[in-house]
Amino acid sequence: MTDPATPPALRARLELVVEARRFAVQELGLPDGEAYRSYADLGRPYAVWTVVATPEFSVAPRRWCFPVAGCVAYRGYFEERRARAAARRLAARGDDVAVGGVATYSTLGHLPDPLFNTMTGWRDTRLVGTIFHELAHERLYVPGDSEFNEAFASVVERAGVRRWLRARGAADDLRRFEGELAREAEFAALLRAARDRLVTLYGSGLPPPQMAADKQREFGRLKFEYAQLDARRGGAMGYDAWFARTLNNAHLAAVATYHDCVPGLERELEAAGSLAAFYARAETLAGRPLAERHAAVCVDPEAGPAARSPLSPDQS
């Protein structure tokens, strides 16, 4: 920030991150470690590329197990070509696959995670929220439970952004942020309904050729329903690019990892009354067996069987 050669726009982003980091520690009770004290230009558009895979007739993601992180619902690669090659291998054995670029990640406090160039072009609320999200992973992480971990970090992120905007007196930005969250909830509900229908289909016992045809009809229905929803919202939903590609089970699984446990953990935050009490409740949940934890917070009362699909590790 003190280097005169630093472009003013980048300096402003770095100053915002310093402010967000200070707010996270002082107001949100997040760890004051080594993350986001430095900046790194990776010279590429994404920090990593992730590969998500499911069997052809399942919405449950395959899992891969690693030291420290435990079992997670994706594989990550620092080079896109390697991610694409892994996706091709999985597809060749019959899996549905999805490859996506990811702008940042957390090493859970084990390494001094920098701010990447991949994040600096974001609007303020997304950049600040991501800082809160990744620091939340340092606050609490349960090896082998991607759904709980991402939902916990997302709930802290949302609560943190609301507090940050209120502290700045940014009422208009807060209204826009709440509108974004409402649209995100509609998007997640649309996908949850599609997953529920697919779970029913995949458990129907139909012959594979008929099941494959019905599967494609369900994805066509999902795109049609999104188009209707977007039209009702005046074209403001903002997920057109997501629906523009050929969709499969893996795309639904990738989104589910970030959304399935959010409603339950938001209820925990509301019941707790404060972030400190919420952290304590989340830590208690983290100590319970996975099945009990998911039954407690990862099943929306309005959700169907997809939220309760078994999730088993893949050791391949």
**Does residue 299 belong to any structural domain of this protein?**
yes
Q: What integer is the mean pLDDT of 244-265? A: 92
**Does residue 68 belong to any structural domain of this protein?**
yes
Q: Euclidean distance between the first and final Cα of the chain, in Å?
A: 46
**Does residue 205 belong to any structural domain of this protein?**
yes
Chain mean position to CA 145: 13
Q: What percent of the chain shows pLDDT beyond 70?
A: 94
* 307 pLDDT tier (thresholds 50, 70, 90): very low
pLDDT tens digits, residue range 118-174?
999 999 999 999 999 999 999 999 998 989 999 999 999 999 999 999 999 999 999
Q: Is the confidence at residue 76, as pLDDT, over 90?
A: yes
Q: Which are the contacts of 269, defined by CB distance < 8 A and separation ≥ 6?
A: 155, 159, 275, 278
d(CA 307, CA 304): 6
Residue 195, both tokens = 């997953």
* 233 pLDDT tier (thresholds 50, 70, 90): very high
Q: Is the confidence at residue 301, as pLDDT, over 60?
A: no
**Residue 224, helix vs strand vs coil:** helix
261 in Cβ contact with 151 (< 8 Å): yes
Domain count, the chain: 1
Q: Where are the alpha helices (DSSP H) in 203-248?
A: 208-232, 240-243
Q: How far is CA 228 from CA 135, 182, 185, 232, 234, in A?
A: 37, 17, 16, 6, 10
Q: What integer is the mean pLDDT of 173-187? A: 96
Domain that holds residue 113: 8-308
Q: What integer is the mean pLDDT of 225-253? A: 96
**Does residue 315 belong to any structural domain of this protein?**
no
52 in Cβ contact with 101 (< 8 Å): no
d(CA 134, CA 114): 11
HSE-up (13 A, CA, CB side) for residue 33: 20
**Does residue 217 belong to any structural domain of this protein?**
yes
The per-residue pLDDT for 258 is 84
**Does residue 199 belong to any structural domain of this protein?**
yes
**Given the structure tokens 């999730």, which residue do they identify?**
311
Q: Which are the contacts of 64, defined by CB distance < 8 A and separation ≥ 6?
A: 71, 72, 74, 75, 313, 314
**Does residue 194 belong to any structural domain of this protein?**
yes
pLDDT tens digits, residue range 13-52?
999 999 999 999 999 999 999 999 999 999 999 999 999 9
pLDDT tens digits, residue range 184-215?
999 999 999 999 999 999 999 999 999 999 99
d(CA 212, CA 19): 51
**Does residue 185 belong to any structural domain of this protein?**
yes
The per-residue pLDDT for 311 is 32
